[in-house]
Amino acid sequence: MMLRFQYPILLYALAAIPLVAGLLMAVLQWKKKVRRKIGDEVLVNAMMADHLPGRFTGKAMLAIGALALLALAMANPRKPASGEKITRNGIDVMIALDVSRSMLAEDVKPNRLERAKQMLGKLIDKLSNDRIGIVVFAGKAYLQMPLTADHSAAKLFLSSTSTDIVPSQGTVIGEALNMCGSFFAGKEKKYKAIVMISDGEDHDENAAGIAGALAEKGVSINTIGIGSAEGAPIIDPTTKELKKDNDGNTVISKLNEAELKGLAQKGNGIYLPYTGSDEVADKIAAQLGGMDKRTLSETAGGTYYSFMPWLLALAILLLLAALLLPEKKRLRSATLVPAVLAILLLPATATAQDNAQIKKGNDAYKQQAYDKAAEAYKKVTDKKPGNTIAQYNLGNALYKGKQTEAAIAAYDKALSAAKTPADKAQVLYNKGVVLHNNKQLPECIAAYKQALKLNPADEDARLNLQKALQQQKQQQEQDKQDKNKKERDKKKQGQKDQPQNNQPQDQKKEQQPPQPQPSKISKKEAEEKLKALMQQEKNLQDKLRKTNVSTVKKDKDW
């Protein structure tokens, strides 16, 4: 494989080497002039008898060599991994991404396009055994990346996508489907799928017919609708103002679910509304995972062997040698330089071995061999517990291997070793996900909150925090209801068990109903009171009859 530089423009730094060499020659000439000006040559030689001739020039040459190596290291010479064949069972997936300006609507924060890209990035991570291609479309469809197993390249292309990538506006869904279908190879009526994400705003009359034709060729079409039925205004990227139509009215972009549902039905796929990046990515991955697979084999792309660490190590060695190399005879340089070489080569070799183990673990993780991945990462963490990358990857592999408690412990170690707020926020987010799935709501809420403090822009952490808080509230309400029910049941049971017939004799007397007492009013007074009561009863009955006549009950009619 041919050796290439990742940053060839940095090779211009080598132009400084002749300048440094010229400066060295000037210094040597100056030293000769000074010696001549001192006086008697015999006396000067006697004074400099303990100096080694030519040692200054040798040290300068070492320094120049170190500078040259540093310039080469910055340009990062590398070569592709030598003919590594990857064989796996998977399918071909073409992603069709809507990049029309309606995708800038902010009914999904920060806007529809950014959320769509985030969701597709998570989906690509889940399709580790599949080949992926990308088509973008607005008023016209363009191929952004053909089918490839290089998922890193796919995510790189995805991250660079914007509404400016397609000059003409509109939503040509049919053309995008047709272009996706043209890149599927083979005549088999399986192993092929399209994942389209759009707001479906413009109705494309040809889309349904194209979807049906692709379905007959065995292509499964799955659609994702992003946006809301109520819609939202569009911010013009050039003027930064709300977009208006020809009549001066603010344009409101709305999700057209009917269009996207119809395409999924015609294409023997599923339609999903956007409800969250992780949720939608999981459902689409599960849908694609249920399809028939075929054996895919190709050379690994995007994987390089870099020579930069070795060049840096050698440059440091030369600089140290230039600094420590003595110019006087009484110092024994022969034993000093090998010691420096040994000290510096050991950490360089150890770092290369650690990186090789981490790469081995990453390859096993992609193949879903989580136990092997964890074993590779653990070889690094056993030697270097402070290796953040190894600890973080170990936590992910242990979690995938259903070792929840061990995964949380690995995340805690990665958190202690992490240096930047961004790294700490990512570790806390993953720890929160594991705790969330393990039903440890208070702990996962604390992790999400810490992640948001370190990275307030992490919308996934914010969304997961809201879900966890809602679940905690529901759990607390359920616990309260269960507690109240237990108390009521206990109270009823206590009343049922209370003794009925064993009260003391005097208590029974107290509970007996009061006996009628002899009347203290005359017979005439009693008759008058009775008549008054009967008249009041008659008046009350008349009033009730009038009320019943005037208030006739009616049934609801809405």
The pTM of the full predicted model, rounded to 2 decimals, is 0.43
Class for the domain spanning 85-299: alpha beta
| CA proximity to 189, closest of 163, 219, 212, 162 | 219
Report the distance separating Cα 304 and Cα 353, nearest Å. Answer: 16
- Residue pointed to by tokens 């996934």: 460
- Helix axis angle for 257-266 and 173-182, nearest 10°, is 30
Closest CA to 224 of 311, 80, 108: 108
3-state per-residue secondary structure call for 515-546: CCCCCCCCHHHHHHHHHHHHHHHHHHHHHHHH
Domains of the chain by residue range: 4-80, 85-299, 311-327+334-473
Query: Could you please report the per-residue DSSP string of 185-253?
Result: -SS-SSSEEEEEEE---S--TTHHHHHHHHHHTTEEEEEEE-S-SS-EE-B-TTT-SB-B-TTSPBPEE
3-state DSSP call for residue 111?
Answer: coil
pLDDT tens, N- to C-terminus, the chain (558 residues):
567 776 777 788 888 888 888 888 888 788 777 767 665 565 556 555 556 667 777 888 888 888 888 888 888 887 765 545 556 678 999 999 999 988 999 999 889 999 999 999 999 999 988 899 999 998 899 988 888 888 888 888 888 888 888 878 777 898 999 999 988 876 777 889 999 999 987 767 888 899 999 999 999 999 999 999 899 998 877 777 888 888 888 889 899 999 999 999 999 999 999 999 999 999 999 999 888 887 765 544 445 677 888 888 898 988 888 788 776 655 444 344 444 444 444 455 556 677 888 888 888 888 888 898 888 888 888 888 888 888 888 888 888 888 889 889 988 988 888 888 888 888 898 988 889 888 888 999 999 899 888 888 888 888 888 888 888 888 888 888 888 888 887 777 766 555 554 444 444 444 444 444 454 556 666 667 667 767 776 676 665 555 444 333 333 233
Alpha-carbon distance of 451 to 426, in angstroms, equals: 7
CATH of 311-327+334-473, one of 3.90.380.10, 3.10.50.40, 2.60.120.10, 1.25.40.10: 1.25.40.10
* Host H or E run for residue 341: helix 333-366
- Element at 404 (helix H, strand E): helix 404-417
Q: How many whole angstroms separate alpha carbon 33 and alpha carbon 286?
A: 81
